[in-house]
């Protein structure tokens, strides 16, 4: 029987298991939906799927940089306790090696990579069943083709990979450490998107107008002065969120741009991941949970 995209979609909706695994299960079951679900339950995939709804906002950042290539991965779990588990850490090492070897930039492709006896996705699902927590391979990026590549991980929670032309590996490492600490959003001030600049300028204009409105008439600033003030504030804003405009963390007397110039180097790319950023973490209220349990038993 031919396995259609609609069948794969239905199985995924019913099990919350990945598309590729759903297709494989349907092929092995010759298109029999119920048999596919039964087989997935027996293999533990469906059990893992039940945990898929849980928020996985803890975990680790993993990096690898060598031979002109650098890769970074975020592997999540539900608790920091599991993030320290040996099985979880071992899977993380397999994962970063697989991502680096395949120069991965896509999660679906990475999940399909073989780790020997099983794919990344199958290994993840098996580990979920073993440990009892949801886990997700959330992000992966790879950068390459620079003279010097470096990576840095801070406490397993913040990771950086960076590509530098010129200088040396030590400089690239120091830049990676700076990025981890200072969290720049762009390489240069000129890289800040026009819409971001426009929005900040609008905010600064409103602030300046509000400040001016509170002054006595004799002390009110003319329009020309307000414009100069805003121009200065905008230069500060774009400098603070760009790598080259920031004060270097190892020597705050100079900016990163000055350091790079001294070393005849330029940063061509960088990626910074922080565990759980952007994930809405569940707020636990133990007292409310106890009250709800007591209320349920009375009902």
Q: What is the pLDDT of residues 138-172, one digit of tens each?
A: 999 999 989 999 999 999 999 999 999 999 999 99
Residue 56: predicted pLDDT: 75
Q: How confident is the model at residue 226 (pLDDT cuts 50, 70, 90)?
A: confident
Residues paired with residue 65 on neighbouring β-strands, in sequence order: 70
Kindly state the average pLDDT of the residues 256-285.
87
Give the integer Cα–Cα distance in Å for 164 and 151.
11
The top-level CATH class assigned to 58-183+269-274 is: alpha beta
Give per-residue pLDDT as tens, 15-74.
767 778 888 889 999 999 888 887 876 666 665 666 666 777 899 999 999 999 999 999
Residue 100: predicted pLDDT: 98
H-helix or E-strand containing 258? Answer: helix 256-262
Please say if the pLDDT value at position 246 is more than 90: yes
Question: If DSSP codes are grouped into helix, strand and coil, which group holds residue 179?
Answer: helix
pTM score of the predicted model: 0.74
Please say if the pLDDT value at position 213 is more than 90: no
Q: Where are the domains of the chain?
A: 5-50, 58-183+269-274, 189-262
Contact 90, 116 (CB under 8 A): no
Residue 19: predicted pLDDT: 79
Kindly state the average pLDDT of the residues 265-291.
76
What mean pLDDT value characterizes the chain? 88
Q: How confident is the model at residue 283 (pLDDT cuts 50, 70, 90)?
A: very low
Contact 119, 91 (CB under 8 A): no
Dihedrals phi, psi of 297, to nearest 5 degrees: -70, -30
Q: How confident is the model at residue 298 (pLDDT cuts 50, 70, 90)?
A: low
Class of residue 185 by CB neighbours under 10 A (exposed 0-12, middle 13-18, buried 19+): middle
Residue 280: predicted pLDDT: 63
Residues 6 or more apart whose CB falls under 8 angstroms from that of 214 comprise none
Architecture of the CATH domain 5-50: Orthogonal Bundle (1.10)
Contact 82, 67 (CB under 8 A): no
Name the residue among 272, 280, 283 with its Cα closest to residue 74: 272
Kindly state the average pLDDT of the residues 240-251.
96
Give the integer Cα–Cα distance in Å for 83 and 61.
10
Give the integer Cα–Cα distance in Å for 146 and 128.
37
């Amino acid at each position: 029987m031919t396995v259609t995209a609609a069948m794969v979609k239905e199985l995924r909706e019913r099990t919350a298991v990945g598309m590729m695994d759903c297709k494989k299960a349907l092929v092995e079951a010759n298109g029999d939906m119920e048999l596919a679900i039964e087989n997935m339950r027996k293999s533990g995939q469906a059990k893992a799927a039940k945990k898929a709804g849980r928020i996985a906002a803890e975990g680790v950042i993993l990096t690898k940089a060598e031979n002109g290539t650098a890769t970074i991965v975020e592997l999540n779990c539900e608790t920091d306790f599991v993030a320290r588990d040996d099985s979880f850490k071992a899977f993380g090492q397999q994962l970063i090696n697989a991502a680096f070897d395949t120069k991965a930039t896509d999660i679906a492709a990475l999940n399909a990579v073989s780790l020997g006896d099983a794919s990344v996705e199958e290994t993840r699902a098996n580990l979920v069943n073993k440990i009892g927590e949801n886990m997700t391979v959330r992000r992966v990026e790879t950068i390459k083709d620079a003279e010097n590549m470096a990576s840095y991980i801070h406490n397993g929670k913040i990771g950086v990979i960076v590509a530098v032309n010129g200088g040396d590996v030590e400089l690239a490492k120091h830049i990676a450490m700076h990025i981890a600490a200072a969290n720049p959003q762009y390489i240069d001030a000129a890289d800040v998107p026009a819409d971001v600049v426009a929005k900040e300028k609008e905010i600064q204009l409103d602030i300046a107008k509000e400040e001016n409105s509170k002054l006595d008439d004799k002390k009110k600033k003319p329009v020309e002065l307000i414009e100069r003030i805003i121009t200065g504030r905008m230069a500060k804003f774009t400098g603070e969120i760009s790598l080259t405009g920031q004060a270097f963390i190892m020597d705050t007397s100079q900016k990163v741009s000055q350091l790079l110039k001294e070393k005849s180097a330029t940063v061509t790319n960088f990626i910074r991941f922080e565990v759980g950023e952007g994930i809405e973490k569940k707020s636990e209220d133990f007292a409310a949970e106890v009250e709800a349990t007591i209320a349920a038993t009375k009902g």
